[in-house]
Amino acid sequence: MGSLRTAFIASIRYKIALLVLAVVSCALLVAGVALALYEFTDYRQQAVRDLSTQADILGRASASALAFDDAQAVKDDLQLLRNHPGISAAAIYAARGKRMGEYHGADATAQTIPELPEVDSERVSGDHLIVFRRVVENGEIVGTVYLNGRYDLMARLRDYLGILAAVMAFSLLVAGLLSLWLQRAFTQPILAVASAARGVVERKDFSLRVAKTTQDEVGTLVDAFNEMLAELGQREQALATSRRSLEQEVEERRRIDEDLRNLNAQLEQHVAQRTAQLETANKELESFSYSVSHDLRTPLRGVVGFADAVLEDHGDELSDEAQRKLRIVHSEGLRMGRLIDDLLAFSRLGRKALQTTQVDMEALARGAWTTITNAETGTPARVELGRLPQVQGDPALLTQVWVNLLSNAVKFSAKREQPLVSVSAITDGQEHIYFVRDNGAGFNPKYQDKLFGVFQRLHDGKDYAGTGVGLALVQRIVLRHGGRVWAEGQPDQGATFYFSLPKEPGHESV
């Protein structure tokens, strides 16, 4: 922890020192660059000004000599430049460009003096400044002065940069000493906050407080830190209270879970007992169904058979009324046989395991339609068979679905002049929806909840034969496949029966 404190102090001091030195360095650098630019401009202007003034003085001094074409006087005037060591070369030209005299300084033997003068101008050539000035006497140009002076800008800049470096070094020394004082003034309160924070982390002591020594932003930080410690202390107390409450709740839940496990064990025992009882009851029911099938079918076949025999052997001896009644006995016996078969199929459906495989629904629907239309004797219905996607299911049970729905469609549209049955499917993201639509008798929508009940019929049995079990079988088969069944219709406007099957087969539904 001591090393952490040392690192923290070093980090704060290092950052403050860097901050002070960086600010001072930036300020000095900006000021130095600005002064250097000013010095460069001022030196050039001063050099031009000095050399131009010297050229004007020399021109006024030699104006009379130029006017009288006195070359010796011009040369004497040029020799006065020896008192000006900064001038490397000079020349005076007559009005027509004739060079009247020239001068070379001690260090300017290599300087070439122009043969002809130029207009008034000044320019820098390397480390020399060149000036041309016209000599005017009584409003008339009598000649031109040429001066070539030394232009020691780099030497001037070197001297300036040396002074700037000395000033910056002294300023940085002062800034470093100032940063030492600032480090103590700024870091002491921050170190106090850091020490208190370490105490809170190590000992979880939220009663610690930091003394406020300044009224600036650091003092505001100390106040905020003390308020934060007070808030954390209150929250710690609240958390301790909540922790104790949670521990009590956890203990209570543990007891409840133990009670639930005991109850689950008892329920599992009861379920096992009831399952055994249900299995026994199912076996007894199956035995009863077989007995009903055997015991009812035998006398029923006798009734139907004897009624048929009486009509065939003694029909001539019976009156028309007696024959009619025997035919009623014969047809009702056959209807009761079909009813017994449907009831047995309905009761066995829930106990038969599904034999699931990939089913070609178009082939099933087409085969069911062929079976139904071959048995019909009335007006043949026309079928429109659309695309039916394949599905996973029990082929035998799904065949029963198509047979029941298509036979209903044929039966209830038989009285139309042009019976029409449409078969197709709709596919969405989760399931395939198949439907059978007819243009027959339809049904009243307010009774549609009775469509799929056992023995529930919405039409008179005299008009439309049936046992009232077919749609109940359809619903039970589809539900076992994980689908659903519904219908839409209006009286005398036909009906549409829908059933859906999931795209992905799931667990068998009861």
Q: What angle do CA 72, 74, 75 make, to 5 degrees?
A: 65
The range of the structural domain enclosing residue 25 comes to 2-107+118-175
Instruction: Name the E strands within 308-394.
Output: 357-359, 382-385, 391-393
Q: Is 102 within the bounds of a domain?
A: yes
pLDDT > 90: percent of the chain: 4
Q: Is 87 within the bounds of a domain?
A: yes
Task: Give the confidence band of 380 by pLDDT, cuts at 50, 70, 90.
Answer: confident
Tokens of 150: 């030394």
Q: Which of 241-245, 283-287, 302-306, 394-398 has the lowest mean pLDDT?
A: 283-287
Q: Is 9 within the bounds of a domain?
A: yes
Structural domain count of the chain: 2
Distances 293 to 304, 337, 343, 397 between C-alpha atoms, Å: 16, 9, 10, 21
CA gap 505, 508 in Å, rounded: 8
pLDDT on residue 95: 81
Tokens of 36: 């250097």
| Three-state secondary structure call for residue 91 | strand
Using alpha carbons, select from 189, 206, 92, 199 the residue that is nearest to residue 147.
Answer: 92
- Other Cβ atoms less than 10 A from the Cβ of 434: the count is 27
Give mean pLDDT, residues 75-94: 82
Tokens of 23: 């600010």
**Are 141 and 135 a contacting pair, CB within 8 Å?**
yes
Q: Is the pLDDT of residue 501 over 80?
A: yes
Q: Is 305 within the bounds of a domain?
A: no
pLDDT on residue 423: 92
Domain boundary among 158, 175, 192: 175
Q: Is 319 within the bounds of a domain?
A: no
Task: Give the confidence band of 425 by pLDDT, cuts at 50, 70, 90.
Answer: very high
Q: Is the pLDDT of residue 457 over 60?
A: no
Indicate the burial class of 413 (C-beta count within 10 angstroms; 0-12, 13-18, 19 or more): buried
Residue 128 φ/ψ, nearest 5 degrees: -130, 150
CA gap 338, 342 in Å, rounded: 6
DSSP string, 190-237: HHHHHHHHHHHHHH--TT-------SSHHHHHHHHHHHHHHHHHHHHH
Residue 155: CATH number of its domain: 3.30.450
Q: Is the pLDDT of residue 410 over 80?
A: yes
Q: Is 328 within the bounds of a domain?
A: no
Domain boundary among 126, 153, 175: 175
DSSP string, 457-483: -SS-TTTS---S-HHHHHHHHHHHTT-
Q: Is the pLDDT of residue 435 over 90?
A: yes
Q: Is 364 within the bounds of a domain?
A: yes
Give mean pLDDT, residues 443-464: 62
Q: List, for residues 154-170, the tens digit of each pLDDT value.
A: 777 777 778 878 887 88
12 or 356: whose pLDDT is higher?
356
Q: Is 395 within the bounds of a domain?
A: yes
Phi-psi region of 434 (alpha: psi -120 to 50; beta: other; left: phi over 0): beta
270 or 329: whose pLDDT is higher?
270
Domain boundary among 136, 153, 175: 175
Q: Is the pLDDT of residue 304 over 50?
A: yes
Strands 382-385 and 357-359: unpaired
Distances 406 to 129, 421, 442, 449, 474 between C-alpha atoms, Å: 117, 8, 14, 20, 11
CA gap 256, 250 in Å, rounded: 10
CA gap 240, 116 in Å, rounded: 104
130 or 18: whose pLDDT is higher?
130
Task: Give the confidence band of 9 by pLDDT, cuts at 50, 70, 90.
Answer: very low
pLDDT on residue 433: 92
pLDDT on residue 8: 45
Q: Which of 55-69, 156-170, 176-190, 258-272 has the lowest mean pLDDT?
A: 176-190
Strands 495-502 and 431-438: antiparallel
Residue 492: CATH number of its domain: 3.30.565.10
